[in-house]
Structure 1
Amino acid sequence: MYTHMAKLLRVLSIIILILISIAITFDSGIFVYPSLSNTLFFSILVSLLTLITAFYAIHNTSYEKVSIYSCIVFFWGVYILLHCYHTNGEYYRSLYLISSIIYLITLSFLIRIQIINITFIKNILLCIAIIQLVFMLGQSLNIIDSYSKYFPISGTNENPNTNAIFILCCLPILIERIRNLDKTFIYKILFGCILLFLFILKCRTAYIGGAILLATYLLSGKRIHRFWKKSNYIRRALLLSLLCTTIFFTGIHIYQIKKDSADGRLLIWKLSTEMVAKNPIEGYGYGLFERNYNLKQASYFCSQPSTTEHQNASLVAMAYNDYLEQAIEGGITGFIWYLGFFILLGYLAIRQKNREALAIVLAIAIMALFNFIYAAITTWFLLLNYGAILLAASNNQFSLPTLIKRLISIIFCCIASILLYHQCRVINAQIGLKKSIGLIKERRFEEAGNLLARLLEQASTSEAFLTQYANSLAKQKRYEEAIPIYKKASLYTSNISLYYRMADCYAHLSQYSDALTTLKTIAAIIPTNLRSRYQIMCLQRHIQDIEGARQTALEIINISPKVYNPKAEQYKKQAREFLEHSK
């Protein structure tokens, strides 16, 4: 009976893992933006995988031991869940992180009981890399349209940097296969293609990660160890000095490649550090970095004279440093959990003498200092798979009575069922959101509003859903009803489009003070934004605040927008005309 169940579990697990790899690689197109498709389908498939695995474990407790490290990682998920409830965190990000942890534990169990083998997992990762290479090749030849508005080559993602980081992390898999297998021609071709596209994509984070991969392989080599032991102190000091000098000048070169972007990140890190210092224990809530950071940035710019920081600033969606972002969202404890996760994987890789895994873990851990990792689902998926491989091979395991094993399996079965239920509700709400956009385009505002009202509870903390619902009410001129929904959405985002619409509602209700405050928030978040200042000037003229309008007009004339366009010139022209006529 158990043999038959094991075969069935193996088949179902393989199918689900293939579906997960497809889900995180391609946008299904049924949601309002691609990342929702990737993360929601990832989460629901993880719940299915956990459910069938737990069901198998309930009926088959013959596995000998339980990994202590899996228990540690499980409590990380418990912390995220409790923190989310305590701080009213953003539901979707919390769900994604918890699903990631559940996937890590489930996959490590499947590997340990030999349902899934490691070669299959690595083949899945290489298949994703091949898909990205094919799409990038097609985009470079203008055969395939880019998935990004801003970059001609992006693979199946909107951000080419996420592809660069992912394909870089696949290099150790290819290195080990080229070293250990006889037929290596295809792997050598793949290796060369990855290097080529890493050069084309010009991702600074990937270059840093590549240096870490190279250093890991060099320093773990036997020849290097022998050379180091034979070297005297003077030679060692010279080598270390040379290494430090190389790192220093390479860092300066990487900084100079995109200086404005680098300066922007320095500002983000500075303000993020201040946010952590202000609220180190609780944090601000998982998924709420974007909302709270931009308000912090607005407050900072209001208290500072105009500098190049003002000129380089824009709306910020992430910290470009996962450790800082985790500290802001989950507090110092959340930061410790995230950092501890990398330390644990690095420790296990060293203990198991798994150079391939060590190179990947170290590279990702360092790249997480300069870019986003867990939000880039393909790279995060790769790390989770290697984490599962390392957990499965760990020796720190303990025995449990059969009854306790069965009870743990039942708990995981319940967790997976609850997650599955909530994920289905969320997916239903997001499908409804996509449908409502079509209805609004057809000017069927009332029908769209009624649809969204029915799904409001299922949508939970979705700022996109709440904003769209408020938009449908505003289109029906139900401004008093729309404003509370906009305010609720503003608890989860600081997207300026929301503030524009909320200011418009205030203006229609003649609540000009609130409208001005809302528009000034936009102007503070992005100091070079001319549209918000132009609307402020128009409102000030409307309420006969001529002196205030003149001051705003002067700001419009003096500000240099990041990107010049006809609209910007129009705002400046009208500001000059107003100043001339109001003398």
Structure 2
Amino acid sequence: MVFFSFSKLDVSLFLLVGYIILNRYVIQTYFGFSIRYLELVGLSFLYVILRNISLANSLWLLLTIVISGIFQAVYGNLQLLGYCISNHSGFKMTGSFFNPGPYAGFLVSVWSVALGMYLFKIKIISQLQSQTKNDSFLFNEFIKKAFEYIPLLGLISIAIVLPATQSRAAWIAAIASSVILMELRYRFLSNLFRKATIKFQKTAIVLFSVGILSTGLFSIYHYKKSSSDGRIFIWKVTTEMIADTPVFGVGFDRFKTHYMNYQANYFEKNRETRETMVADNTYYAFNEFLQFIVENGLIGFMFLMVTAFILFKVKAKEDYKYLSLVAKTGLFGIAVFACFSYPMQILPIKLVLVFLVSTLSNIDGDTYQLKYNQSKERSWAFKTVILVLGAICIYQTNLYASNLNKGFIVWENALNSHQYGDYNEAISAYKSVYTVFNRDGDFLMNYGKTLAIVGEYHKAIEVLKQAKCFLNTSVIETSLGDSYKAIKQYNKAEAAYQNAINMIPSHFYPNYLLAKFYDDSGQEQKAVVLAQKILSKKIKIPSTAIDEIHEEMREILVKNKKPLGFKN
């Protein structure tokens, strides 16, 4: 007799992932190479593995998560003090991440776990000591010290470094999850309103929450106003994407394929607005829920909301109610961060999320069992088939991962060759891994741009047009413009340059390229008008490049005779 135990949460997750895969491969017209999709598949298998570990081991894994947060916090502090180099030239502190945003997101996901473990440390220690088979005094003392001081150390180290990340989303998530955990542990508000009527309790809580939330959001908005305006603008354009494909969306991880086209259309209709100063090339919606709807449609969002509802309705086994509170609050903290950032693009945060979800499913007291009778011979045959299939899958996965890793190394070498001006070597490298990444928009953009630089314009156009099926940015459009200009397809060149300008009106470079195109192709009047516009254009960030562009625009005006009223 074989048993399969599963929960409602398992079923809802299976349906959610199943829908994403179906939508990606069957419903949508295109699908590209996606690291996020490979991570989704891998995390799904990880979830199955974590579902089958003991709850005692889950507690040790929780401690491991806290330890990883401590290492990241220490690493960030060393970067801040100048002992280690950050991974971004514009920021002093990034941890092992590429910028402070995802770094702060990971820290705040660990913060909720560390705070929960510290608040409920007595129950955790008692439970582990009672379940361990080792009666050694030293081992029990080790458990006590580890689960008492490591979470505390995690809280202290993260509290020191988190403010320096300047991530408002992380601050909001940390405060919200801390308030909830403190209330669940000590019942401050419950005790305060114990003697009040239910109506008064609800009214007071709503007014207090709205007041605190409004004050906090207002303060945080004005703390980095331009950044806040940028995100609000992205959300505004994102809603237009949802309106055009509301049912099934555009496909998993294809937000970046379409967003810049919508941004270009927006500025083409609205021209000079204050939003031009906050627009840039964008890969993420800076709100995971909006991006999920864009990519998977309202049907996918319905599956997600059902999963979230089931998740937060999980009734834990009596001995593990505290663990349920820790896991749910940790997930809530990640969800709050997801409203303003992109944690689902960051693998370490997704690992924490998957572990918390699997923990909730493990402690769910309402599970189902599927059982069927099977002879001993059939049981062995079944296990053998599973083992063989498992071995084949592991072999194929390792082979694919190895080839992919080699491909990424070659791609990185190509980027380095391009940076150092060895374009022929870069093209040779790109060609060698083209079959691996011919559905990756970033790869095709890098490859096409390099082809354009060395003068292989027809090939560059072919590769760049292919790139637009999976990604579009102002870089692709300007490279297309350069290639069309070189082969004298002037109408297409002008359209590509103009599209790049519409994407990011505040950028000087696309405007400069179009002005030079008009000048080189003998369209003097258009060149003069655009040159004047560039010279009067508001500068977002002063630079030597802009000074040089201004100088060339003045030369265009002088060459074509300065228009009346122009001042040099």
Contact 1:172–1:360 (Cα < 8 Å) also in 2: yes
Q: Which moved more, 1:143-152 or 1:425-434?
A: 425-434
TM-aligned CA distance change 1:225 to 1:451, over 3 Å: same
CA distance in 2, matches of 1:413, 1:157: 33
- 2:355 pairs with 1:356: no
| SS across alignment from 2:369 | strand
**Counterpart in the other structure of 1:248:** 214
Greater CA drift, 293-302 or 70-79: 70-79
Q: Which moved more, 1:229-238 or 1:352-361?
A: 229-238
Structure-to-structure mapping, 1:393-472, within 5 angstroms: 393-394=363-364, 395-401=366-372, 419-438=397-416, 440=418, 445-446=423-424, 448-472=426-450
Q: Which residue of 1 aligns with 2:139?
A: none
Task: After superposition, give the CA deviation of every residue in 1:487-529 in whole Å (9 maximum; x if it has no partner).
Answer: 1112222233233322222222122222221111111111111
Aligned equivalents of 2:550 and 2:32: distance in 1? 39
Structure 2 CA distance for aligned equivalents of residues 440 and 148 of structure 1:
20
CA contact (8 A) 1:537 1:553 kept: yes
Label 1:427 to 1:194 Cα distance change in 2 as closer, same or farther (>3 A).
same
Instruction: Confirm or deny that 1:213 pairs with 2:159.
Output: no
Identical amino acids, percent of aligned pairs: 20
Residue in 2 that maps onto 1:224: 189
State the Cα distance separating 1:89 from its structure 2 match: 2.3
Displacement of 1:62 in angstroms is: 5.9
> Aligned to 1:273, which of 239, 245, 253?
239
Q: Which amino acid aligns with 1:297?
A: Q
- In structure 1, distance between residues paired with 2:226 and 2:417: 41
Match of 2:41 among 98, 108, 122: 98
- How has the CA–CA distance of structure 1 residues 335 and 413 changed in structure 2, closer, same or farther, with 3 Å as cutoff? farther
* Structure 1 CA distance for aligned equivalents of residues 183 and 152 of structure 2: 23
Equivalent residues of 1:104, 1:388 under 8 A apart:
yes
Q: How does 1:283-298 map to 2 (within 5 A)?
A: 283-298=249-264
The AA in structure 1 aligned to 2:44 is I
More displaced, 126-135 or 164-173? 164-173
Q: Is the 8 A contact 2:111 2:174 kept in 1?
A: no
Q: Find out whether 1:523 has 2:489 as its counterpart.
A: no
Q: What is aligned with 1:131?
A: 71
Name 1:36's counterpart in structure 2. none
2:88 pairs with 1:145: no
Range that drifts further, 310-319 or 389-398? 389-398
* Alignment check: 8 A CA contact 2:25 2:31 kept: yes
**Match among 162, 167, 192 for residue 203 of structure 1:** 167
The equivalences for 1:475-494 within 5 A come to: 475-494=453-472
Deviation at 1:135, TM superposition (A): 0.9
CA displacement, residues 88-107 of structure 1 (integer Å, 9 cap, x when unaligned): 22321322223222322232
Deviation at 1:359, TM superposition (A): 1.0
Matched residues in 1 for 2:508 and 2:545: separation?
Answer: 9
Q: Work out which of the residue numbers 459, 474, 497 in structure 2 matches 1:496.
A: 474
Give the superposition deviation at 1:241. 1.9
Distance 2:235 2:263 in 1: 11
Distance change in 2, residues 1:148/1:436 (3 Å)? closer
Contact 2:33 2:437 in 1 (8 A): no
* Aligned 8 A contact 1:132 1:156 in 2: yes
SS in 1 for 2:162: helix
Q: Deviations over 1:410-443 (max 9, x none)?
A: 7777666655554344333222222334555676
| Cα separation, partners in 2 of 1:531 and 1:167, compared to 1, 3 Å | same
> Following the alignment from structure 1 to structure 2, what is the Cα–Cα distance between the partners of residues 227 and 413?
59
Offset from partner CA, 1:203-222 (integer Å, 9 cap, x none): 11112112221232244244
1:109-188 alignment to 2 at 5 Å?
Answer: 109=52, 111=53, 117-179=57-119, 180-181=121-122, 182-183=144-145, 184-188=148-152
Is the partner of 1:210 in helix, strand or coil?
helix
Question: Rg bigger for which structure?
Answer: 2
Cα distance 1:410–1:292, how it changes in 2: closer, same or farther (>3 A)? farther
Residue in 2 aligned with 1:306?
A: 272
* 2-structure distance, mates of 1:515, 1:250: 48
Point out where structure 2 has 5 or more consecutive residues left out of the alignment: 123-143, 562-568
The 3 A distance-change label for structure 1 pair 443 and 259 is: closer
> Are the equivalent residues in 2 in contact too, given 1:323–1:368 (CA < 8 A)?
yes
Q: Which amino acid aligns with 2:49?
A: T
2:7, 2:367 within 8 Å by CA — same for their partners in 1?
yes
Query: CA 1:252–1:305 in structure 2 vs 1: closer, same or farther (change >3 Å)?
Result: same
What do residues 7-40 of structure 1 show as CA deviations (whole Å, max 9, x unaligned)? xxxxxxxxxxxxxxxxxxxxxxxxxxxxxxxxxx
Match of 1:41 in 2: none
Deviation at 1:153, TM superposition (A): 1.3
Partners of 2:417 and 2:554 lie apart in 1 by: 41
Under a length normalisation based on structure 2, what TM-score does the superposition of the two structures give?
0.84
Distance 1:350 1:275 in 2: 40
Q: What CA RMSD, in Å, does the superposition of the two structures yield over aligned residues?
A: 2.8
Q: Encode CA deviations 1:252-286: one digit per residue, 9 max, x unaligned.
A: 11111111111111111111111101111231222
1:534 to partner: Cα distance: 0.9
- The 8 Å contact of residues 70 and 157 in structure 2, kept in 1 or not, is answered as no
SS at match of 1:117: helix
How far off its partner does 1:358 sit?
A: 1.5
Counterpart amino acid of 1:82? L
Change (3 A) 1:85 1:240: closer
